[in-house]
A and B are shown apart, each in its own frame.
Chain A
Amino acid sequence: MLEVRGLRAGYGEVEILHGMDIDVAEGEVVAVLGSNGVGKSTLNNNLSGIYAPFGGSIRFCGEGIAGANPARIVDLGLIQVPEGRRVFPNLSVRENLELGSYRRGRAARARNLERVTRIFPRLKERYGQMAATLSGGEQQMLAIGRGLMSEPRLLILDEPSLGLSPILVDEMFALIGELNGEGLSILLIEQNAVQSLEAADRAYIIEHGVVAMSGPAAELARSPDLRARYLGL
């Protein structure tokens, strides 16, 4: 459903991604792995239309979205849960969730609120509280909940485990499995290679703005080269 071909992108004059090919098929969990500064966020920001790519193409469900505005991309159901959560600190938990369906999924807002608060009962307890007062883990739940409110067809999770305690990280990966079990396609952008490879069907390893390795996650997890470099084994 997502086809990225020869994507070149960056900021200003600086090119960070030098021709990248990435695919996500319906129902898949695909992991994009790489250490800090290899271009994972650049990839995301181009997929979501925050920046326009220098070249190459991005197709989502058959439609070219390279350089489209973010609202259009949300309309199509490509939803990003950004790194650092980016929840609205001055809005209540409920309002944050409601704004998740600002453009997409508004008709089913009440039903989706119910669903999201069933997945994250903690958010229900914090319903009227300002998002700024939530803990990091709760904010991550809120960011994912807000993403789910817009009925994504493909959900991009950008470093969802960053800054979470080990127990919450486990819960996060369990949640990814559950959401995927319900049929949601997920593009997982992570530094945490061990757990991401367990959760994903396929994976791409990015280095210096190009795909260095790709393939079925289980196979990559066994690759001696990758184990040495990313898993410290």
Chain B
Amino acid sequence: MDATILGAAVINGLLLGGSYALVAVGLTLIYGVLHIINFAHGSLLMLAMYGAYYLLVKAHIDPYAAIPLMVVAMFAAGYVLYRGLIGRFSHGKDENILLITLGLSIVLENVALFFFKGDSQTITVSYSDRMVALGPALVPLPKLVSFAASLVLCAALAWFIARTETGRAIRAVAKERQGARLVGIDVEKIFAVSYGIGIACLGAAACLLIPSFYVSPSVGNLFVIVAFTIVVLGGMGSFAGALVGALIIGLTESLSGLFLGEALGQIGISLIFILILLFRPTGIFNK
């Protein structure tokens, strides 16, 4: 095998992993605090991607410039969803949250199908086709930007969780709800904020993905299965795990694509998933 091709596949894999990272970090944050898998993750990502798409098509706002807007909008959407729907109807039962988010994803996907139709949409921006030489690989500029911005945003989020008062409260609620209530933390509000932050990650991810990806009502499913694998691989609830897991999964997909053929790239991911469940079900970063 030619070292150049292999090198290019590695670089492409890492870039791909970077774009998965934000989606996975949002999922792992929600899991870590609420102890549920957010089944609406994929469909909310899809909504955010349509948001970024229409902001460009209708309002001529560049996807990268739309990041702050989409982050705020998706945070608000997540916060309100939790307060108005998920938290209200779950009655404190984790399995109810699970069902509500699952139901939500079905509704969102079908509403999207109704309004946006089933066709895939893509956008073209001036930098869509620009390529950048990166070592042995020639990579599309949007993928490089997506990778770098993903890492920066993950780091910013990690800083927020580690250093701010709200971040401390989020970590406290994640492991000890009763203790949190007794120091006066509004646990329900922290749930809503955490859900909001997890969904805000999707707002940023959508803006970073849309210049190099398509959007359709079912696009979220592609990402949610991958993100779920990443979260399990890294260790449910672990930030560092989600980031490292994303890079590993990106690499896996790219390399198995190289060795098995493009169409079979995802087989590697499923294989990894089975291997984790067999040998280290708590993930890399969880004790």
Q: Which of B137-184 contact A (CB under 8 A)?
A: 165, 168-169, 171-172, 174-176, 178-184
The answer, yes or no, to whether B98 is at the interface (CB within 8 Å) is no
Q: Do residues A90 and B171 form an inter-chain contact, with CB atoms below 8 A? A: yes
Residues of A within 8 A of B165 (CB): 102
Can you list 15 A-B pairs, Cβ within 8 angstroms, ordered by A? A48-B181, A50-B181, A69-B186, A73-B184, A74-B182, A82-B179, A88-B171, A88-B179, A88-B180, A90-B174, A95-B168, A95-B171, A102-B185, A104-B184, A150-B183
Verify B183–A146 contact, CB threshold 8 A: yes
Given the known inter-chain contacts A90-B174, A102-B169, please indicate yes or no for A70 contacting B179, CB distance below 8 A. Answer: no
Q: Mark A76-90, 1 if CB is under 8 A from B, else 0.
A: 000110100111111
- Shortest CB-to-CB span from A165 to chain B, Å, is 23
Complex CA–CA separation, A9 to B181 (angstroms): 19
Residue of B nearest to A84 (CB): B178
In the assembled complex, the Cα of A174 lies from the Cα of B18 at a distance in Å of: 56
Report the nearest A residue to B175, measured CB to CB.
A90
Query: From A146, which residue of chain B is reached at the shortest CB distance?
Result: B183
B154 to chain A, nearest CB (A): 19
Beta-carbon contact of B184 and A91 below 8 Å: no
Are B178 and A86 touching (Cβ within 8 A)? yes
Asked whether B182 lies within 8 Å of A80 as measured between CB atoms, the reply is: yes
- How many whole Å from B285's CB to the nearest CB in chain A? 13
Q: Which of A81-118 contact B (CB under 8 A)?
A: 82, 85-91, 95, 98-100, 102-104
Asked if B175 and A88 make an inter-chain contact with CB atoms under 8 angstroms apart, the answer reads yes
Verify A89–B182 contact, CB threshold 8 A: no
User: Which one of B168, B169, B174 has the greatest number of beta carbons of chain A within 10 Å?
Assistant: B168
Chain B, Cβ-Cβ closest to A103: B184
Cβ contacts under 8 Å, B169 to chain A: 99, 102
In the bound complex, residues from chain B placing their C-beta under 8 Å from that of A82 are 178-179, 182
Instruction: Confirm or deny: A207 has a beta carbon within 8 angstroms of a beta carbon on chain B.
Output: no
Closest-CB distance, A68 to chain B (whole angstroms) = 12
Q: Which residues of B contact A88 (CB under 8 A)?
A: 171-172, 175-176, 179-180
CA distance A100 to B179 in the complex (A): 10
Q: A48-B182, A74-B183, A150-B184 are in contact. Are A86 and B176 (CB under 8 A)?
A: yes
**Contact (Cβ within 8 A) B184 A74:** yes
